């Protein structure tokens, strides 16, 4: 095998291992208390449904109906007002994943009864498989970013790894038919792509075309994939790497452009549900028509609205980041902190903030897209501090990691997390 084939095999192996790990961890959350009815209703969930007798119930998002219905017949994306029209690959992927499930006898499958009644249980299971693969990919890419070469390094990074795999988003969406696991995969994928670009590992045609092809598929499945494209575009533009810029743009954007033209030719229009319902992205042009001052006033309202939903989601990760910074200030120094990782997390954070400013319609699940940047930044600082910790104080970082992880897991298992 060539070096490239060996690396690819290792990546696939790591991805599969991480997929198993995140699935087991989220099975354990089935033992945690369910969402309280008031929180479930406020967050847009139906009452919790028990997947397996004897285990705690899981929340099924009310959007799951539309997600499984689209996956059962992906051709509905060509209906003039289909709400998945701008992301057809999501439904098509789940449709394909559901096919092997159909070979399992019904008595060995489980899921919400209303899905079984409508004949969509296979598509529901397809979403569960996709969720596991996406979350596994997110964890695998996060691990690829961190230099974990010792037991103390693993213990230092442990709370950040656990936080990435058990959190508000996984609690609410891992066991339901939804697209939200893309949030974690896209975030970690963005930061991994940015670091690889800064390290000149995407300068050659083959790896760049491979990454661009993944982004092309991502754009047809989940909108925030554009953040990865934007970051790489800026990096290549700053370096004036025109060949890489052209390759990235052409391979990434051409499939979506062709889909757009095909839909416009077939149906006469291209329907974007979010823009139709909430004027997402379009509000910027609406506000600009009233002048710069009106755009500024509208922007302030959007920024304040995003902060209202994000301060709750970002508060605890920010506390953990502050704790790691404080420990490094007291017991080590910042000379060995990986600047590339900090830069990648900062670039992603800023681009995500800009994306959601333009998006203009927010909820806590959108705000959680910012959290992986804080987790990577905290892990990078913690590992950098571990490398420079003063003699006699090396125990501080692994102790911090174990303590924070123990408290975090205790909160989730006893209360069901913040939604409990």
Task: Round to whole Å and give the CA distance between 28 and 175.
Answer: 12
pLDDT band for position 420 (50/70/90)?
Answer: very low
pLDDT band for position 51 (50/70/90)?
Answer: low
Task: Round to whole Å and give the CA distance between 58 and 34.
Answer: 7
* Residue scoring higher pLDDT (141 or 108): 141
Q: What is the mean pLDDT of the chain?
A: 86
* Residue scoring higher pLDDT (245 or 173): 245
Number of residues assigned to the chain: 420
The pLDDT of residue 82: 84
User: Is the pLDDT score of 49 beyond 60?
Assistant: no
* Residue scoring higher pLDDT (159 or 62): 159
At 105-115, the pLDDT tens digits run: 766 666 666 56
Q: Report the share of the chain in percent with pLDDT over 70.
A: 88
Lowest mean pLDDT among 123-132, 158-167, 170-179, 408-417: 408-417
Handedness of CA 233, 137, 175, 169 (dihedral sign): negative
pLDDT band for position 337 (50/70/90)?
Answer: very high
Residues 89 and 259 sit within 8 Å (Cβ to Cβ): no
Tokens read off for 147: 């230099």
Task: Round to whole Å and give the CA distance between 96 and 119.
Answer: 16
Give the single-character DSSP code of 255: H
Q: Can you tell me which residue has the tokens 């028509």?
A: 289
At 323-332, the pLDDT tens digits run: 999 999 999 9
pLDDT band for position 57 (50/70/90)?
Answer: low
Task: Round to whole Å and give the CA distance between 124 and 173.
Answer: 12
At 35-47, the pLDDT tens digits run: 555 555 445 455 4
User: Is the pLDDT score of 403 beyond 90?
Assistant: yes
For residues 232-243, give the mean pLDDT.
95
- Residue 148: closest CA among 342, 387, 332, 317: 387
For residues 207-214, give the mean pLDDT.
96
Residues 144 and 163 sit within 8 Å (Cβ to Cβ): no
Residues 324 and 382 sit within 8 Å (Cβ to Cβ): yes
At 65-102, the pLDDT tens digits run: 888 889 989 998 888 888 888 899 999 999 999 988 77
pLDDT band for position 53 (50/70/90)?
Answer: very low
User: Is the pLDDT score of 184 beyond 60?
Assistant: yes
The pLDDT of residue 142: 97
Q: Report the share of the chain in percent with pLDDT over 90.
A: 54
User: Is the pLDDT score of 50 beyond 70?
Assistant: no
Maximum average pLDDT range among 11-15, 226-230, 273-277? 226-230
- Residue 110: closest CA among 46, 43, 54, 182: 54
The pLDDT of residue 111: 61
Q: How far is CA 218 from CA 63, 77, 222, in A?
A: 21, 17, 6
Tokens read off for 186: 């896209």
User: Is the pLDDT score of 304 beyond 60?
Assistant: yes
User: Is the pLDDT score of 187 beyond 90?
Assistant: yes
Lowest mean pLDDT among 119-123, 188-192, 219-223, 340-344: 119-123
Task: Round to whole Å and give the CA distance between 63 and 84.
Answer: 12
């Amino acid at each position: 095998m060539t070096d490239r084939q060996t690396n690819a095999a290792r990546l696939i192996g790591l991805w599969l291992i991480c997929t198993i790990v995140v699935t087991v961890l989220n099975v354990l959350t089935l033992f945690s208390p369910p969402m309280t009815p008031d929180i479930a209703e406020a967050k847009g969930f139906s009452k919790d449904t028990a997947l397996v007798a004897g285990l705690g119930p899981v929340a099924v998002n009310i959007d799951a109906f539309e997600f499984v219905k689209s996956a059962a017949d992906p051709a509905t994306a060509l209906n003039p007002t289909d709400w998945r029209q701008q992301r057809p690959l999501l439904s098509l992927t789940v449709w394909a994943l559901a096919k092997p499930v159909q070979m399992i006898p019904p008595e060995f499958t489980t899921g919400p009864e209303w899905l079984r009644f409508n004949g969509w249980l296979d598509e529901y299971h397809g979403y569960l498989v996709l969720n596991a693969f996406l979350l596994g990919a997110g964890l695998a890419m996060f691990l690829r970013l961190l230099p974990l070469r010792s037991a103390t390094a693993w213990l230092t990074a442990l709370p950040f790894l656990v936080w990435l795999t058990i959190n508000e988003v996984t609690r609410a969406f891992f066991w339901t038919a939804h697209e939200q696991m893309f949030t974690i995969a896209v975030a970690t994928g963005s930061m991994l792509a940015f670091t690889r670009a800064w390290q000149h590992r995407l300068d050659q045609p083959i790896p760049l075309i491979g990454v661009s092809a993944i982004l092309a598929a991502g754009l047809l499945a989940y909108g925030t994939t554009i953040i990865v494209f934007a970051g790489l575009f800026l990096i290549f533009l700053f370096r004036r790497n025109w060949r890489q810029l052209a390759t990235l743009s052409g391979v990434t954007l051409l499939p979506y452009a062709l889909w757009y033209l095909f839909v416009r030719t077939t149906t006469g229009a291209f329907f974007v549900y979010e823009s139709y319902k909430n004027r997402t992205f379009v509000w910027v042009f609406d506000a600009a028509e009233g002048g710069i001052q009106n755009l500024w006033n509208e922007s302030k309202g959007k920024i304040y609205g995003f902060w209202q939903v994000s301060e709750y989601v970002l508060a605890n990760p920010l506390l953990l980041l502050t704790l790691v910074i404080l420990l490094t200030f007291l017991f080590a120094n910042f000379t060995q902190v990986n600047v590339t990782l900090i830069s990648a997390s900062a670039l992603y954070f800023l681009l995500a903030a800009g994306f959601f400013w333009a998006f203009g319609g927010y909820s806590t699940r959108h705000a959680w897209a910012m959290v992986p940047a804080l987790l990577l930044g905290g892990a990078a600082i913690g590992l950098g501090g571990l490398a420079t910790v003063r003699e006699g104080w090396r125990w501080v970082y692994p102790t911090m990691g174990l303590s924070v992880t123990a408290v975090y897991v205790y909160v989730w298992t006893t209360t069901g997390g913040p939604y409990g």
